[in-house]
């Protein structure tokens, strides 16, 4: 150990321990292993725990504190919310162990207590795959052969331990078989002894009729025992049939559940292999089409609004032009009336009158000039002429005014007519402009209606695809729980069947023993009398028969003196020989029953183990394939139990052929091995796991994806605490910011200068 004093608070789920080489990262796993009872060879740091003590020190302590809360707490009344395991290593003397409660009180100092705590919490510290040291990790990730992988798999999943147990049972069975051979010899000797005793006893039967009656009573007593055993045998047979029926029914249920699991796993695999992605792509595509269609409708609406604005402007112009035309029409009518009041005849007459007045004025002016010389004489005439001249001038001026007014009226009328024509021309142009724009509006409205219909259709497709996608997502999320539930039911049925099979074995054993006893009783009884000769009456018992035999014995006492051996002694010898024969037959039968039971148990355990092994193969391969998908790889695991090999086959592309993982580069190879390690960790069910320098052979790409795999797989088991050690930094990977992920950076220890 390189730290004088070091402590680390690990998080409940995922822990990354980082730091430069030599900083003491690996000491964390070593400390945990040693505190929980690992041997020195398990730590990869020498052959003796004393080698772990810092140079120059005499003592080292490794302390692990376990959280002991909630309904799964271990003896909470005794230990409280924390269990403290402290192991002290000493250079001199024996190492010590203390198990303390949350108040630092020592509860125990034995290894058995630690083992019980570890077993209760499911911490398999002795499993070589639970905590992989630097050397083990490097060997596993880079240099393990197919046989090494198979051994790692068998040890990690504890299948090797189960097969070793099977071998031990097989060895015990062979030992019992040898005992059976020995018991058979003793049984033959007891049969000979019984025949000799019976022969002596039979010599007494010839002496008297009572001897025959006694023999009949003895046979009758044996038949009573036979009938009592027969009743028990029938009841046991009925119970055996019932147990077998339950086993058969459970096997049928298991087959049905297994088929359901296979169907769900196939459906899950199809979803995970791209079917779900297809549903998602269709859903996204429909959403994009829906949004595009919605945008087209918005654009069409804006276009219609723009056209309506144009139409509104044009209609406004038309209305203004119509109002202007109406006004001009009124002005024209007014001017027409004015002009009509001054007809052409009046105009000509006025012009003629004007001309005459002008001529008259000219004459008057001429007369004026002619008479100007004679002003005095002609003053009166001049005044008259001037008066006339003024009147004529006024008349001419009035006529000019009327003509001028008439000319102005005519000009205004023509101007109004021209203005009307121009306005009507403009109105016509506006109307002409209106028609194509209305056509454009109609086209745009039709287009928008079409887009709305398309949008409705797309919306329906979108809703359908979304519902299907959400349904498939729900199905996918439900598959794991349903599969686990089904497997749990299978385990329950297996457990029930194991108990039922144990009951069946016991019943078969009982029936075998009882059958042997009945055959023995039948054989013994037939030697005295047949069942018909016994004439068993209802209510007869061995006690009443014994009383009859006692009466006969008293009568035969006189006869006993006639034999070289007394009849009682002959009977005792017969009974003893019979008892010894029964005893050896019982032992022989018991041994046969035990042998048959062990053989049946061996066969059942082997079948269950083979089934468990097959299911474990499937589970490990399923987790391995799932882990490869994160890297967009595909692969499989080839198990060869006979050869004891396990081959990882991986393809980096969907269409590429599968190859042995050893044929890939260091990064891809290490990623495949990491995926395999997680596959083994799945069925291990260890609450604490550790891996030192998992990324030592990885490039940045494979390391980043391996971190993603680690975060994904560890998150699937929230009740397991996993520790990863790496000299490299851990950052820029999705999921590192979760509360369940803890990153601990170890600073190098202070070392004394040499």
User: Tokens 């009841």 identify what position?
Assistant: 235
Q: Which segments within 152-249 are labelled E, that is strand? A: none
> What CA–CA distance (Å, rounded) separates 244 from 405?
135
pLDDT grade for 696, boundaries at 50, 70 and 90: low
Question: What is the token pair recorded at 407?
Answer: 């000319």
Domain boundaries, the chain: 8-21+124-184+599-754, 37-122, 292-459
Question: What is the token pair recorded at 694?
Answer: 């998992």
Closest CA to 111 of 121, 122, 103, 119: 119
Question: What is the token pair recorded at 275?
Answer: 């079917």
pLDDT for residue 380:
53
**Across 288-298, average pLDDT:** 83
pLDDT for residue 237:
92
Q: What is the pLDDT of residues 348-367, one digit of tens each?
A: 665 665 666 667 666 656 66
Question: What is the token pair recorded at 511?
Answer: 């029936």
Q: What is the pLDDT of residues 717-748, one digit of tens each?
A: 778 888 888 888 787 778 788 888 888 888 87
**Across 93-111, average pLDDT:** 90
pLDDT for residue 386:
57
Q: In what order do the strands lie in the sheet with 659-660?
A: 634-640, 645-651, 659-660
pLDDT above 70: residue 381 = no
Question: What is the token pair recorded at 638?
Answer: 């080839």
pLDDT above 80: residue 31 = yes
Query: Distances from the Cα of 519 to the Cαs of 514, 525, 596, in angstroms?
Result: 8, 10, 19
Question: What is the token pair recorded at 205?
Answer: 């039967």
Query: Distances from the Cα of 72 to the Cαs of 75, 117, 717, 728, in angstroms?
Result: 9, 12, 16, 36
Global pTM value:
0.44
**Across 7-24, average pLDDT:** 83
Query: Distances from the Cα of 1 to the Cαs of 38, 78, 88, 89, 275, in angstroms?
Result: 16, 33, 13, 12, 53
Strand bridging mode 645-651 / 659-660 = antiparallel
Structural contact between residues 25 and 691, judged by C-beta atoms closer than 8 angstroms: no
> What CA–CA distance (Å, rounded) separates 650 from 672?
8
Question: What is the token pair recorded at 210?
Answer: 């009572």
Question: DSSP character for 272?
Answer: I
pLDDT above 90: residue 249 = yes
pLDDT above 70 covers what percent of the chain? 81
Structural contact between residues 718 and 152, judged by C-beta atoms closer than 8 angstroms: no
By CB atoms closer than 10 A (0-12, 13-18, 19+), residue 27 is buried
pLDDT grade for 287, boundaries at 50, 70 and 90: confident
pLDDT for residue 431:
74
pLDDT above 50: residue 378 = no
pLDDT above 90 covers what percent of the chain? 8
pLDDT above 60: residue 84 = yes
Mapped to the 3 state alphabet, what secondary structure does 429-492 carry?
Answer: HHHHHHHHHHHHHHHHHHHHHHHHHHHHHHHHHHHHHHHHHHHHHHHHHHHHHHHHHHHHHHHH
Structural contact between residues 603 and 170, judged by C-beta atoms closer than 8 angstroms: no
pLDDT for residue 754:
38
Comparing 259-268, 318-327, 494-503, which segment has the lowest mean pLDDT?
A: 318-327
pLDDT above 50: residue 62 = yes
Which helix (H) or strand (E) covers residue 630, if one does? Answer: helix 567-630
pLDDT above 60: residue 562 = no
pLDDT above 60: residue 465 = yes
Q: How many CB atoms lie within 10 A of CB 681?
A: 23
Q: What is the four-CA torsion angle of 545, 546, 549, 555, rounded to 10 degrees? A: -130
Question: What is the token pair recorded at 726?
Answer: 């790496």
pLDDT for residue 387:
67
> What CA–CA distance (Å, rounded) separates 650 from 629?
11
pLDDT above 70: residue 492 = yes
> What CA–CA distance (Å, rounded) separates 346 from 500?
141
Rg (CA), the chain: 60
pLDDT for residue 281:
78
Query: Distances from the Cα of 251 to the Cαs of 6, 149, 246, 357, in angstroms?
Result: 55, 33, 9, 145
Which of the pair, 97 or 211, is modelled with greater confidence? 97
**Class for the domain spanning 8-21+124-184+599-754:** alpha beta
> What CA–CA distance (Å, rounded) separates 593 from 514?
11
**Across 518-523, average pLDDT:** 88
Closest CA to 551 of 213, 224, 219: 213
Which of the pair, 196 or 750, is modelled with greater confidence? 196
pLDDT for residue 113:
92
What average pLDDT is seen over the chain?
Answer: 78
User: Tokens 């990324």 identify what position?
Assistant: 695
pLDDT for residue 264:
82
Question: What is the token pair recorded at 577?
Answer: 């020989």
């Amino acid at each position: 150990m390189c730290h004088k004093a070091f402590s680390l608070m690990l998080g409940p789920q995922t822990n990354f321990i980082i730091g430069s080489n030599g900083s003491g990262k690996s000491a964390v796993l070593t400390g945990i292993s040693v505190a929980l009872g690992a041997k020195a060879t398990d730590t990869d740091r020498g052959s003796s725990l004393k080698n772990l003590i810092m140079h120059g020190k005499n003592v080292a302590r490794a302390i692990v504190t376990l959280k002991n809360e909630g309904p799964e707490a271990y003896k909470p009344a005794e230990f409280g919310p924390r269990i403290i395991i402290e192991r002290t290593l000493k250079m001199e003397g024996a190492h010590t162990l203390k198990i303390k409660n949350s108040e630092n009180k020592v509860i125990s100092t034995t290894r058995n207590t630690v083992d019980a705590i570890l077993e209760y919490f499911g911490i398999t510290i002795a499993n070589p795959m639970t905590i992989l040291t630097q050397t083990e990790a490097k060997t596993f990730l880079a240099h393990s052969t197919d046989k090494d992988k198979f051994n790692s798999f068998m040890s990690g999943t504890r299948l090797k331990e189960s097969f070793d147990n099977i071998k031990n049972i097989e060895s015990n069975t062979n030992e019992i078989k040898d005992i059976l051979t020995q018991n058979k010899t003793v049984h033959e000797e007891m049969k000979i002894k019984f025949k000799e005793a019976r022969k002596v006893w039979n010599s007494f039967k010839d002496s008297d009729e009572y001897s025959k009656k006694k023999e009949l009573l003895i046979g009758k007593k044996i038949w009573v025992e036979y009938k009592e055993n027969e009743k028990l045998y029938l009841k046991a047979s009925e119970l055996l049939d019932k147990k077998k029926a339950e086993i058969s029914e459970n096997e049928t249920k298991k087959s049905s559940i297994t088929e359901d699991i296979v169907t769900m796993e196939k459906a899950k695999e199809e979803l995970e292999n791209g079917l779900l992605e297809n549903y998602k792509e269709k859903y996204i595509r429909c959403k994009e089409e829906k949004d595009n269609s919605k945008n087209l409708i918005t654009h069409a609406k804006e276009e219609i609004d723009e056209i309506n604005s144009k139409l509104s402007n044009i209609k406004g112009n038309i209305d203004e032009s119509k109002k202007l035309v109406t006004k001009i029409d009124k002005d024209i009518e007014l001017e027409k009336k004015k002009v009509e009041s001054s007809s052409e005849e009046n105009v000509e007459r006025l012009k003629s009158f004007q001309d005459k007045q002008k001529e008259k004025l000219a004459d008057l002016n001429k007369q004026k000039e002619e008479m100007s010389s004679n002003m005095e004489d002609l003053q009166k005439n001049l005044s008259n002429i001037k008066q006339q001249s003024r009147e004529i001038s006024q008349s001419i001026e009035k006529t000019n005014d009327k003509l001028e007014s008439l000319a102005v009226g005519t000009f205004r009328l023509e101007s109004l007519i021209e203005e009307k024509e121009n306005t009507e021309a403009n109105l016509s142009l506006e109307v002409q402009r209106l028609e194509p724009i209305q056509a454009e509006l109609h086209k745009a409205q039709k287009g928008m209606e079409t887009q709305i219909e398309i949008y409705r259709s797309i919306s329906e497709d979108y809703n359908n695809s979304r519902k299907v996608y959400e349904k498939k997502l729900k199905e996918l999320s439900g598959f794991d729980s349903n599969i686990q539930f089904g497997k749990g039911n299978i385990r329950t049925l297996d457990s029930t069947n194991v108990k039922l099979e144990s009951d069946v074995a016991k019943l078969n054993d009982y029936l075998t023993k009882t059958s042997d006893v009945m055959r023995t009783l039948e054989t013994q009884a037939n030697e005295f009398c047949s069942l018909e000769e016994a004439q068993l009456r209802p209510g007869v018992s061995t006690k009443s028969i014994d009383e009859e035999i006692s009466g006969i014995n008293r009568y035969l006492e006189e006869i006993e003196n006639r034999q070289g051996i007394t009849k009682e002694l002959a009977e005792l010898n017969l009974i003893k020989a019979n008892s010894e024969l029964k005893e050896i037959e019982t032992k022989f039968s018991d041994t046969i029953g035990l042998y048959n039971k062990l053989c049946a148990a061996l066969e059942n355990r082997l079948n269950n183990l083979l089934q468990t092994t097959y299911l474990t193969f499937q589970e490990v391969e399923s987790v391995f394939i799932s882990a490869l998908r994160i890297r967009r790889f595909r692969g499989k695991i080839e198990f060869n139990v006979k050869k004891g090999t396990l081959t990882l086959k991986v393809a980096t592309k969907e269409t590429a052929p599968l190859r042995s993982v050893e044929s890939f580069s260091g990064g891809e190879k290490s990623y495949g091995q990491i995926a395999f390690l997680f596959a083994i960790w799945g069925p291990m069910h260890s609450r604490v796991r550790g891996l030192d320098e998992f990324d030592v052979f990885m490039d940045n790409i494979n390391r980043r994806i391996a971190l993603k795999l680690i975060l994904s797989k560890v998150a699937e088991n929230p009740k397991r605490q996993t520790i990863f050690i790496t000299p490299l930094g851990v950052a820029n990977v999705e999921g590192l910011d979760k509360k369940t992920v803890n990153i601990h950076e170890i600073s190098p220890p202070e070392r004394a200068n040499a």
